[in-house]
Amino acid sequence: MQSAPWVARLGLASAVILAGSCIAVLATHAVNDRRMLASQPGEAAPDFELPIVAGDSQACDGVFRLSDQRGAIVVAYFCSSQCPVSNDYDQRLTELQRQYSGDSRVRFVAIHTEFPPVPPADIAARSSSAGQTFVSVIDTDRAVARRYSIACTPTFLVIDAAGEIRYRGAFDDNRNADQAVTRFVPNAVRQLLAGKPVKVQLTEALGCPLK
């Protein structure tokens, strides 16, 4: 009779361990299977509007709306000035934007997910010093980043003229620009402009985790 409580406690402990193991497995699966995340290639890009803090814009109210960009390819760059990896890609995106300067078929937007929040004036100054002329917006509470299941900065999305995500992930295959071989974002833009399917649609974005 004295063993009954011990057996009960053992059974409860086993159940807790099993539940914990299941949670761990599910968490690992969720991380490894990116198809479970929202806003993947082949899906419609969720609309959003964010305040413009830098860059040229036709929006008279100072707000960038994704739905207003229909008819053009949009390169969306989730970034943070507090992330050194993200900073490494500022110039590469600036150079890509210059290639399409004056081409209304391609538009660029940098979505700043700073935490702790950075004053908009600081973001504008940083954008100007980097020679960026494309729009920069600020996702103060990171609500848009969460809607897109952004796990780290930098993360890039290429959205086609119909508003469908056609590429998601890293800009290229090496943080060191001189060693990069495959340039995923430029390739995706070029293929869409040529009316061809995007060959590489999903890669793993590596950088600073969103807090």
The number of domains in the chain is: 2
Structure confidence by residue, pLDDT tens digits, 23-70: 233 233 333 444 457 799 999 999 999 999 998 655 557 899 999 999
Specify the CATH number for the domain of residue 100: 3.40.30.10
Prior bond to 5 cis, omega within 30? no
Instruction: Please indicate, yes or no, whether residues 27 and 84 belong to a single structural domain of this protein.
Output: no
Instruction: Please indicate, yes or no, whether residues 60 and 87 belong to a single structural domain of this protein.
Output: yes
Instruction: Decide if 153 contacts 210 (C-beta within 8 A).
Output: yes
Cβ-based neighbour number of residue 151 at 10 Å: 17
CA angle 166, 109, 209 (to 5 degrees): 80
Instruction: Please indicate, yes or no, whether residues 21 and 105 belong to a single structural domain of this protein.
Output: no
- Name the pTM for this structure: 0.81
pLDDT band at 8 (very low <50, low <70, confident <90, very high): very low
Query: Percent of the chain, pLDDT > 70?
Result: 81
Amino acid at the residue 101: S
Q: Residue 103's domain spans which residues?
A: 39-209
203 versus 15: the higher-pLDDT residue is 203
Q: How high is the pLDDT of residue 57? A: 52
